[in-house]
Amino acid sequence: MGEPRVLIVEDEAAARELIEEILAEDGYDIHNAETGQEALRQADGEVDVVLLDILLPDMNGFDLVTELQGHDSPPQIVAVSGMDEVEYLQRAVASGVDDFIRKPISPTELRARVRAAVQRYGSQQSLIKDREFFRKAAAEEERLSSLVLDHNASLREANERIQRLNEDLEQANHELEELAANDPLSGLLNRRSLFKKIDADLERTRRHAAALTAILVDIDDFKAVNDTYGHVCGDHVIRELGGCMQRTLRRYDYAGRYGGEEFMMVLLDTDEASAAVVAGRLLDAVRAIDFDCDGREFPVTVSVGVAQHVDGDTPESWIDSADQALYKAKQAGKDRVERAERATTTATPG
């Protein structure tokens, strides 16, 4: 197996040369494309990672992402852009982008994220190959079992082998689904899977008049963590926070990475007041973590906004209410919980 193949899709020569220079010492097989059409031609062969500037001269970069994700063996796609508007990030995720790097490019962050993308691609390829192997093996066992129908003992043995192979195939499929549904850094649901579950739970809430509450979580001063300790340490904080959120939730609640350093927890059959108590426990749990990166210890806190879904809410207006509460928590000094200012709800200190 050769070196990981990285395709840089960027129409600005200076930007391409900078990225190639940063990655030059990491042993990648690096290729360049200035246009979307050229990128599609080069991606006909096996490509591990595509570093893509969404703004291309000949086609919409989101359309290019969709086409690349339609390949039998889609690459990991990392968007490189100076844009950070929510609408842009949402559209990028919906089209199939796996990760983001903001301009101006940090060499440390670029190398770390490309390395992570190569690892994700390798895991995905391994699972796909395993699933194909088990599928062929199961088919072969079924064919062989048809030749020994008159021999009960042989038939039982063949059936047992088929059952074991089917169980292995089911496990491989499950692992592949987990890889596609989860954010690889935090271990929580990715944005696409999060909103898919939210849509289903909103329908259940409308049918059964059940309580449903969102908790929006943002890491305080996360840019300062990245600037002071580096993006590798920032990734460590996200991994730790993801684990902390999973330990805080009940088994039937769930959480996902909403975007960047922002996360969303969804509590079923839970009103806003009870959710604020859960959010307070999360604040305490985060404060108690001794964050350590390369021997350097530093504290981390989070700010939280809580909003219960009410009649007439769209998913957007519901999340916006939680976002407004989160903004209020930030303005009030951070490291605290605020409830949405609707009906008779009141603020709850963290």
Domain containing residue 333: CATH number: 3.30.70.270
Domain boundary among 161, 181, 201: 181
Structural domain includes residue 186:
no
323 and 280 inside one domain:
yes
Spatial distance between the Cα atoms of 254 and 236, rounded to a whole number of angstroms: 21
Structural domain includes residue 346:
no
Q: What token pair was written down for 57?
A: 């001269």
Spatial distance between the Cα atoms of 303 and 217, rounded to a whole number of angstroms: 6
255 and 321 inside one domain:
yes
315 and 224 inside one domain:
yes
295 and 245 inside one domain:
yes
**Cα 213 to the chain's mean position, in Å?**
22
Half-sphere exposure of 104 (CA within 13 A, CB side): 2
Domain interval for residue 172: 121-181
105 and 138 inside one domain:
no
Domain boundary among 145, 161, 181: 181
232 and 332 inside one domain:
yes
147 and 108 inside one domain:
no
199 and 333 inside one domain:
yes
Domain boundary among 138, 159, 181: 181
Spatial distance between the Cα atoms of 322 and 236, rounded to a whole number of angstroms: 26
| Amino acid identity, position 110 | L
Nearest to 62 by CA among 22, 95, 18: 95
Spatial distance between the Cα atoms of 92 and 276, rounded to a whole number of angstroms: 32
Spatial distance between the Cα atoms of 39 and 31, rounded to a whole number of angstroms: 9
Q: What is the CA radius of gyration of the chain?
A: 24
Give the pairing type, strands 99-102 and 49-52: unpaired
Q: What token pair was written down for 58?
A: 């000949």
- Bridge partners, residue 339, by sequence: 306
Which pLDDT tens digits describe the chain residue by residue (350 residues)?
578 999 999 989 998 899 999 998 888 999 999 998 998 898 876 889 999 888 888 888 888 888 888 887 889 999 888 776 667 777 777 788 888 888 888 899 889 889 988 898 888 877 777 666 667 766 666 666 666 555 666 667 767 777 776 666 566 454 445 545 788 889 999 989 998 999 888 888 888 788 999 999 999 999 999 999 998 999 999 999 999 999 999 998 999 999 889 999 999 999 999 999 999 999 999 999 989 888 889 999 999 999 999 988 888 999 999 999 999 999 999 999 999 977 533 334 34
81 and 130 inside one domain:
no
Structural domain includes residue 19:
yes
Structural domain includes residue 211:
yes
- Structural domain tally of the chain? 3
**Which CATH number do you get for residue 20?**
3.40.50.2300
Beta strands in the chain (DSSP E): 5-9, 29-33, 49-52, 76-81, 99-102, 212-219, 254-259, 262-268, 291-293, 296-298, 302-308, 337-339
100 and 167 inside one domain:
no
Structural domain includes residue 348:
no
Structural domain includes residue 345:
no
201 and 327 inside one domain:
yes
135 and 253 inside one domain:
no
Give pTM, 2 decimals. 0.54
